[in-house]
């Protein structure tokens, strides 16, 4: 009984949060890089604006994918993988501004710290069927201030399980605002 009340209360809080406070919906592609067995998948989640030291955005994503044998010519997929990630992203350091003076498109650099928990079926990785990860991802961000944002991130990801491994990670993310706040007169 207590668990269902906690779950219902949590759902009520999430559903009553104004869309503007949720900031953005993120969709992306995620993959480890290299030879042998790699992970390829997609993710979906929410990004919220925060003010915590150097971090300006916090994300929570669900990631689904599969294991791919990069050395196979035919039939390189094996098993499925699912994960939940939590990320903290620094503010962008503006490199360049392009386009209209009133609403320029910015190109910036930022840094993402991402932690994840994973479950896999038929995992060929030495970590086994469940593991955790921690990634440090420098990235480039493209887009307008409050509009659509695009990110390209590449960096190391450490997988912790039965054994510890480091993989190169590539992430491509698209962030779309859920709602715009009305301008104050």
Beta strands at 77-90 and 93-98: parallel, antiparallel or unpaired: unpaired
**What's the confidence (pLDDT) of residue 182?**
55
pLDDT-based confidence at residue 181 (cuts at 50, 70, 90): low
User: Residues 121-135: pLDDT tens digits?
Assistant: 988 888 888 999 999
Domains, the chain, in order of start with CATH, read 22-177 (2.40.160)
pTM: 0.79
**Interacting residues of 179 by C-beta distance below 8 A, sequence separation 6+:** 18, 19, 20, 22
User: Residues 130-178: pLDDT tens digits?
Assistant: 999 999 999 999 987 678 899 999 999 999 988 899 999 999 999 999 8
Three state DSSP letters for 109-165: EEEEEEEEEEEECCCCCCCCCEEEEEEEEEEEEEECCCCCEEEEEEEEEEEECCCEE
How far is the C-alpha of 123 from the C-alpha of 45, rounded, in Å? 24
User: Residues 4-47: pLDDT tens digits?
Assistant: 555 555 455 444 555 445 589 999 999 999 888 899 999 999 99
Say if residue 66's pLDDT is above 80.
Answer: yes
Tokens of 181: 């706040």
Q: Tell me if 86 sits within 8 A of 59, measured CB to CB.
A: yes
User: Residues 43-61: pLDDT tens digits?
Assistant: 999 999 998 899 999 999 9
Sort residue 34 into left (φ over 0), alpha (ψ -120 to 50) or beta: left
């Amino acid at each position: 009984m207590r668990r269902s009340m906690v779950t219902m209360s949590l759902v009520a809080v999430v559903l009553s949060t104004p869309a503007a406070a949720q900031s953005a919906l993120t969709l992306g592609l995620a993959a480890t890089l290299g030879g042998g067995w790699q992970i390829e998948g997609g993710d979906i989640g929410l990004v919220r604006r925060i003010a915590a030291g150097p971090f300006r955005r916090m994300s929570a994503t669900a990631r689904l994918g599969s294991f791919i044998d990069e050395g196979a010519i035919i039939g390189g997929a094996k098993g499925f993988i699912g994960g939940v990630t939590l990320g903290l992203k620094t503010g962008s350091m503006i490199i360049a501004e392009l386009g209209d003076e009133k609403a320029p498109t910015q190109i910036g650099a930022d840094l993402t710290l991402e932690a994840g928990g994973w479950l896999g079926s038929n995992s060929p990785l030495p970590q086994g069927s469940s593991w955790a990860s921690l990634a440090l991802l420098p990235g480039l961000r493209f887009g307008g201030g409050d509009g659509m944002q695009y990110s390209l991130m590449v960096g190391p990801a450490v997988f912790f399980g039965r054994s510890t491994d480091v993989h190169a990670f590539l992430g491509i993310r698209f962030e779309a605002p859920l709602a715009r706040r009305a301008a104050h007169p």
